[in-house]
Amino acid sequence: MHEYSIVTALIEQCETLGAENQAKAITRVEVKIGMLSGVEPALLSQAFETFKLDGICANAQFNMQIQPLVLQCHQCGQTSEQTERTIICSHCQSNNTQIIDGEDMMLMQLEMDT
């Protein structure tokens, strides 16, 4: 379960940013998770709740934005959001597409008590 290692790195990043900003606590952590990131949101949330108990994130609320897959079609030129895990253009059915968004996981925002 790689979500544990992801959460460990996320909490380390929160601790670093908290220290840089002289924060007493982090109250909210917001991440964006792409459909094709390979991260399971339920497992990530569970791992965060488990690992946050010691440290600056102990009382933090964990919010996730699920980012749909965004494709640019090189055949018809359309950009589209996909609700399914497919790289086929929903406009012209071409597979000559490029993924624009939806493959990564990013820390988007922290709220801190200073």
Binding annotation for Ni(2+): 2
Q: Answer yes or no: are the C-beta atoms of 56 and 26 closer than 8 Å.
A: yes
**CB neighbours of 2 closer than 8 A, spacing ≥ 6?**
38, 39
Binding-site residue ranges for Zn(2+): 73, 76, 89, 92
Binding-site residue ranges: 2, 73, 76, 89, 92
What would the two tokens of residue 49 be? 């709740």
Q: Answer yes or no: are the C-beta atoms of 58 and 83 closer than 8 Å.
A: no
Phi, psi dihedral angles at 48 (to 5 degrees): -60, -45
